Structure 1
Amino acid sequence: MDPAVLRDDMVDSLEHESKGCLRSEALSVAMREVPREAFVAEDRGAYADRPFERLGTRVLAPSTVARLLEALDVREGDSTLVVGAGVGYTAAVVAELADDEHVHAIDITRRLVIEARGNLAEAGYGGVLVDRRDGADGLPEYAPFDRILLEAAAVSPPAALVDQLAEGGRLVMPHGAGEQHIAVVEDGEVAERLGSVAFQPMLVEGEQADTVERNRTRREDREFARRNAEGRTGWEQEWIDWDDAVRR
């Protein structure tokens, strides 16, 4: 089927009252323009309202993108930073709203930066700057930004991102640890909490989405359990095949 038809169907479903996550005309037009199949390598599946996994990161479902960008409220000409470029789809929609020369995106994972650059160029948004950075540090060289979108969860607004907002600027992020909500941050404070979401926590330098497990505590607990098991004596050593040892 023609991708443009699938795209229209996708946007129509997001506008329908059963979902109600897409309300503004400008965002509706933008999502009808961006060829999602350039970012998700499944022709029909690209327009299904579900997330995908790619290179260790989650490609957001269209409804989640719509909810975040409705809260971000990007206007034409707004200097915008997307923290967590992923495969580049969200940055492309922002580029439709603000023009691609005003859009910057960063990601901590090098392979995703390369992926996003290629996808954006293929889709016609080669003017979007994509760089490898620690998201918590933002992109100070191009600050201030009218809008910043953080596509990873944090328990508080990262100070560097707040500092890089222009006067009257807006930061939108998944806020919280266990229970998360979309938060709108203005003047350094959470000004509004919207619907619930579930995002992976923000990575730190040295962690890569496609190579290292995100949660340090889980890694340490697993390693301690392994050392404890292998440190047992005698017949407690369940990891040894004692029958095989006796036969030898």
Structure 2
Amino acid sequence: MSEDALSERKMQFLYALRSRGVTDTSVLNAMEKIDRGAFVRGLFQDRAYEDMPLPIPCGQTISQPSVVGLMTQALRLTGRDKVLEVGTGSGYQAAILSALSRRVYTVDRHRRLVREAREVFDAMNLTNITAFTADGSFGLPDQAPFDRILVTAAAEDPPGPLLAQLKTGGIMVLPVGQSDHVQSLIRVTRTESGFDYDELRPVRFVPLVEGLGKE
């Protein structure tokens, strides 16, 4: 693809994000800076700038960019936050978070995905991301508490260990739902007295699975 054609695609990409509700300037700037094409390999590489989810190894997907933008926007990042991401996947969401946070810890149950994501982070010189292979449903107790938590897989309810690892005043954004078809993106804010819940929009994510993957 020529430079001009690539530039045109990237402009259309940003326009699609705005038209679907991603309006936070800092989030749009991060999504302009972090090239989604670096996280999409093989057959689907030429579709990296389309607003659609795409398959990645281990039966997972790289999320639709507008959903990445809306979830990032919902976190209300300050630039000083320590963030936990559950579900590294391709690494694209973690890279966006790294541009808007002080430190990002990301975990995935699939070793292969963590290894490949680390390679992209190194190539892009994203030095404030630490990626682990772990069961994300338990969070990262050794690094807790977190200012922000983002979960990129759907659970029936917000997992208790993740709620416990959220600072007072902290925000967690995650999809919840009992099936692949009925899920809502919610924002959980930890207060002095408990948790406040906001329902944001319908979404579809792979389920949050306990244990480590086979690869």
Give yes or no for TM over 0.5.
yes
Q: Is the 8 A contact 1:83 1:106 kept in 2?
A: yes
| Structure 2, unpaired ranges of 5+ | none
Compared CA separation, residues 165 and 8, structure 1 to 2 (3 A): same
Deviates most, 72-81 or 144-153? 72-81
Greater fraction helix: 1
Partner SS for 2:48 = helix
Compared CA separation, residues 120 and 46, structure 1 to 2 (3 A): same
The 5-angstrom pairing of residues 189-200 of structure 1 reads 189-200=195-206
Q: Is the 8 A contact 2:16 2:66 kept in 1?
A: no
1:148 aligns with 2:149: yes
Partner SS for 2:171 = strand
Partner SS for 1:44 = helix
RMSD (CA atoms): 1.7
Taking structure 2 as the reference length, the TM-score comes to 0.89
1:115 aligns with 2:121: no
1:124 aligns with 2:130: no
1:180 corresponds to which residue? 183
Q: How many residues align structurally?
A: 204
Q: Is the 8 A contact 1:136 1:158 kept in 2?
A: yes
1:64 corresponds to which residue? 67
Partner SS for 2:100 = helix
Deviation at 1:169, TM superposition (A): 0.3
Counterpart Cα distance in 2 of 1:118 and 1:60: 19
Counterpart Cα distance in 2 of 1:4 and 1:154: 38
| Structure 1, unpaired ranges of 5+ | 212-248
Q: Is the 8 A contact 1:117 1:126 kept in 2?
A: no
Greater fraction strand: 2
1:26 corresponds to which residue? 26
Taking structure 1 as the reference length, the TM-score comes to 0.77
1:204 corresponds to which residue? 210
CA offset digits 1:198-218 (Å, max 9, x no partner): 111111115x2x77xxxxxxx
The 5-angstrom pairing of residues 35-50 of structure 1 reads 35-41=35-41, 42-50=44-52
Counterpart Cα distance in 2 of 1:126 and 1:114: 15
Counterpart Cα distance in 1 of 2:131 and 2:8: 29
Q: Is the 8 A contact 1:81 1:103 kept in 2?
A: yes
CA offset digits 1:151-176 (Å, max 9, x no partner): 01011111111111111001100011
Deviation at 1:190, TM superposition (A): 4.9
Deviation at 1:34, TM superposition (A): 0.2
CA offset digits 1:74-98 (Å, max 9, x no partner): 2201100110000100000001111
Q: Point out the structure with max Rg over C-alpha.
A: 1
Counterpart Cα distance in 1 of 2:140 and 2:9: 35
Compared CA separation, residues 109 and 195, structure 1 to 2 (3 A): same
